[in-house]
């Protein structure tokens, strides 16, 4: 498949069998019966969370990213407002998706080099693959890590430790063979097996000729390692040390390629590959990064803290607010924030959102809570207090687009301004305490 068959879609968009779709190069392509069946089986294998399947149609959900099926590549972009036609803003939302992915993974997936400008628009999978090959090239140049491993062999010479049971079973009638276990010191170690598996994954994808040639060159220079199918547990067991910390970025990209790849569902020769991300998670991590970058010297920001909520013996429940802002001096909670990837229509936040923030304030003894929403039209924030309580909740609307450009600087400024108010309130309270008589301040 040629990469020019990539089609740009938005989350929650519906596509139908036989419906004409406009590829990024202007050509017209269609979703075929076989591709539809493959996507349905892929979705079923993942609990139905990626698509909503109807009669001869598929509706996308809140997952964004890249899906490759048959002769069709779907690049799914964010869409903050379902009711608004945002097709003219696709380039801006694509820039935003890349920036949010960079924040979520700690990697920049695109750099404005002269070479990239000459090659034109690259698909999301191209950018991930190119960055992975960049990291892998550096590791190959530096020299891949080596380590000790054990291997069993039935060999004509005796070396290592004799495995008696296996030796008797295999060589009872052969005095010239020895079943032994030996130690080898080479590059066939788990870290390199993961990179090799990701490199093999690239071999089955629809990449441009230049990217495919780079992948083939890396594969030719990559040493022979045992075949591996890494799982989430494989990555969790990895512990990088002083000499292997240089693998960090390559492993992040390898995990993206391997964990988000679909099972090899086949109808004839068709194969499904997906690299999909939950927009709720991306928005949460992106906003949390804005908070951390805007935090000054007097406040600190933590994310995803777990707090006990309900306890019934062996049955326990907890809550995890997205963002907690505290005073560095006292450790007191100043603000609790939660992100929501949905656009509020005219009016206050929903009851369920407000009830969630009420619980957070009560549990953490927070004076104020904040709900952070995206906005495509520039909505005003809403402030309110909870009945019979001395704490409240406000809604904050971050505007991702400025015209037809991703507005990262404006969102940073909005968060910095809000946290500046929080820090100023802390400073005022601190000054008031200092001016109080000693007996009053210690009471």
- Note the pLDDT tens digit of each residue in 334-357: 999 999 999 887 778 999 999 999
Give the pLDDT of residue 70: 82
- Note the pLDDT tens digit of each residue in 95-153: 999 999 988 888 777 644 433 434 456 788 888 999 999 999 999 999 999 887 777 77
What order of strands is seen across the sheet that includes strand 51-54? 14-16, 57-60, 51-54
- Note the pLDDT tens digit of each residue in 58-109: 999 999 999 988 888 899 999 887 666 666 788 899 999 999 998 888 877 7
Give pairs for 255-258: CB < 8 Å, separation 24+.
255/230, 256/105, 256/128, 257/128, 257/129, 257/132, 257/198, 257/201, 257/202, 258/194, 258/197, 258/198, 258/201, 258/230
Give pairs for 395-398: CB < 8 Å, separation 24+.
395/344, 395/348, 395/349, 395/370, 395/371, 396/370, 396/371, 396/372, 397/344, 397/373, 398/287, 398/372, 398/373, 398/374
- Note the pLDDT tens digit of each residue in 398-414: 999 988 899 999 999 99
Give the pLDDT of residue 424: 84
What is d(CA 293, CA 296) in angstroms, rounded to the nearest whole number?
A: 8
Q: Does pTM surpass 0.85?
A: no
- Note the pLDDT tens digit of each residue in 260-311: 654 554 444 457 888 899 999 999 999 999 999 999 888 999 999 999 999 8
Going along the chain from its start, the domains and CATH numbers come out as 3-143+190-279 (no CATH), 147-186 (no CATH), 295-441 (3.40.1350)
Pull the structure tokens for residue 140: 């190959």
341: left (phi over 0), alpha (psi -120 to 50) or beta: beta
Cβ–Cβ contacts within 10 Å for residue 342, how many? 16
In terms of pLDDT, which residue wins out, 86 or 55? 55
Q: What is the DSSP letter of 416?
A: H
For residue 302, give the 3-state DSSP assignment: strand
Torsion of CA 115, 116, 120, 121, to 10 degrees: 170
The answer for residues whose C-beta is within 8 angstroms of residue 28's C-beta and 6 or more apart is: 20, 21, 22
């Amino acid at each position: 498949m040629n990469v020019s068959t990539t089609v740009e879609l938005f989350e929650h968009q519906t596509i139908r069998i036989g419906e004409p779709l406009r590829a990024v190069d202007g050509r017209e392509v269609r979703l075929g019966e076989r591709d539809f069946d493959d996507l349905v089986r892929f979705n079923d294998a993942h609990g139905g969370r990626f698509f909503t399947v109807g009669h001869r149609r598929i509706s996308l959900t809140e997952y964004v990213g890249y899906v490759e099926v048959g002769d069709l590549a779907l690049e799914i972009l964010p869409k903050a407002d379902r009711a608004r036609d945002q097709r003219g803003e696709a380039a801006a939302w694509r820039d935003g998706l890349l920036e949010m992915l960079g924040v979520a993974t700690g990697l920049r997936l695109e750099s404005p080099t002269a070479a990239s400008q000459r090659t034109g628009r690259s698909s999301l999978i191209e950018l991930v693959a190119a960055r992975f090959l960049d990291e892998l090239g550096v590791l190959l140049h530096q020299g891949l890590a080596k380590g000790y491993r054990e291997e069993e062999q039935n060999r004509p010479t005796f070396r290592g430790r004799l495995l008696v049971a296996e030796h008797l079973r295999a060589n009872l009638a052969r005095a010239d063979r020895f079943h032994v276990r030996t130690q080898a010191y080479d590059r066939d170690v788990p870290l390199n097996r993961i990179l090799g598996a990701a490199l093999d994954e690239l071999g089955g994808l629809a990449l441009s000729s230049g990217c495919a040639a780079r992948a083939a060159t890396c594969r030719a220079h990559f040493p022979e390692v045992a075949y591996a199918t890494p799982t989430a547990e494989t990555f969790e067991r990895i512990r990088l040390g002083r000499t292997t910390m240089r693998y960090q970025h390559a492993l992040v990209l390898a995990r993206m390629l391997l964990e988000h790849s679909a099972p090899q569902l086949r109808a004839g020769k068709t194969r499904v590959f997906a690299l999909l991300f939950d927009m709720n998670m991306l928005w949460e991590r992106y906003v949390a990064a804005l908070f951390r970058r805007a935090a000054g010297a007097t406040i600190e920001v933590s994310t995803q803290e777990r707090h006990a909520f309900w306890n019934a013996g062996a049955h326990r429940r907890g809550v995890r607010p997205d963002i907690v802002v505290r005073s560095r001096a006292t450790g007191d909670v100043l603000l609790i924030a939660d992100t929501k990837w949905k656009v509020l229509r005219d009016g206050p936040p929903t009851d369920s959102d407000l009830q969630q923030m009420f619980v957070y304030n009560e549990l953490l003894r927070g004076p104020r809570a904040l709900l952070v929403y995206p906005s495509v039209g520039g909505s005003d924030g809403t402030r309110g207090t909870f009945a019979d309580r001395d704490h409240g909740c406000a809604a904050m609307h971050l505007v991702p687009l400025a015209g037809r450009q991703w507005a990262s600087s404006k969102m940073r400024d909005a968060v910095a301004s809000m946290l500046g108010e929080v820090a100023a309130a802390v400073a005022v309270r601190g000054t008031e305490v200092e001016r109080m008589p000693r007996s009053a301040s210690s009471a």
